[in-house]
Amino acid sequence: MSEISVTGKIARSGATRRETPEERQRKATIQISAGVLLIAAIVAVAFYSQGANPKGAYIWIIGIGLGYVLQRSRFCFTASLRDPILTGSTTLTKAVIIALALSSVAYAALQIKATGMNLETLEVAKLPGWIRDVGIHTVIGGFLFGIGAVLAGGCASGTLMRMGEGFAQQWLSFVFFVVGSVIGSVLLPLMQAAGLYRKGAVYLPQFFGGWVPALIVQFALLATLYVLADWYGKKKSGEL
Smallest gap from residue 172 Cβ to other proteins (A): 4
43 in contact with other proteins (CB under 8 A): no
90 in contact with other proteins (CB under 8 A): no
Smallest gap from residue 195 Cβ to other proteins (A): 14
User: Interface residues for other proteins in 99-118 (CB under 8 A)?
Assistant: 99-104, 106-108, 110-111
Q: Please say whether the beta carbons of 97 and 225 come within 8 A.
A: yes
Inter-helix orientation angle 156-165/77-86, to 10°: 100
Smallest gap from residue 239 Cβ to other proteins (A): 18
Instruction: Give the Cα separation of 13 and 4 in Å (integer).
Output: 12
Instruction: Give the Cα separation of 179 and 167 in Å (integer).
Output: 19
Inter-helix orientation angle 136-152/77-86, to 10°: 80
The one-character DSSP state at 5 is T
Smallest gap from residue 240 Cβ to other proteins (A): 21
In three state form, how does the secondary structure of 32-78 look?
HHHHHHHHHHHHHHHHHHHHHCCCHHHHHHHHHHHHHHHHHCCCCHH
88 in contact with other proteins (CB under 8 A): no
Which of 44, 178, 216, 223 binds other proteins (CB under 8 A)? It is 178
Which of 43, 175, 212, 227 binds other proteins (CB under 8 A)? It is 175
150 in contact with other proteins (CB under 8 A): yes
Which of 19, 44, 47, 73 binds other proteins (CB under 8 A)? It is 73
x/- map, 193-222, other proteins, by CB under 8 A: --------xxxxx-x------x---x--x-
233 in contact with other proteins (CB under 8 A): no
Candidates 8, 181, 168; CA nearest to 78 is 8
- Which residues is 133 bridged to in the sheet? 201
52 in contact with other proteins (CB under 8 A): yes
Which of 17, 18, 72, 199 binds other proteins (CB under 8 A)? It is 72
Q: Which residues of 157-170 are buried (b: 16+ CB within 10 A; e: fewer)?
A: ebbbbbbeeebebb
User: Interface residues for other proteins in 116-145 (CB under 8 A)?
Assistant: 127-134, 137-145
3 in contact with other proteins (CB under 8 A): yes
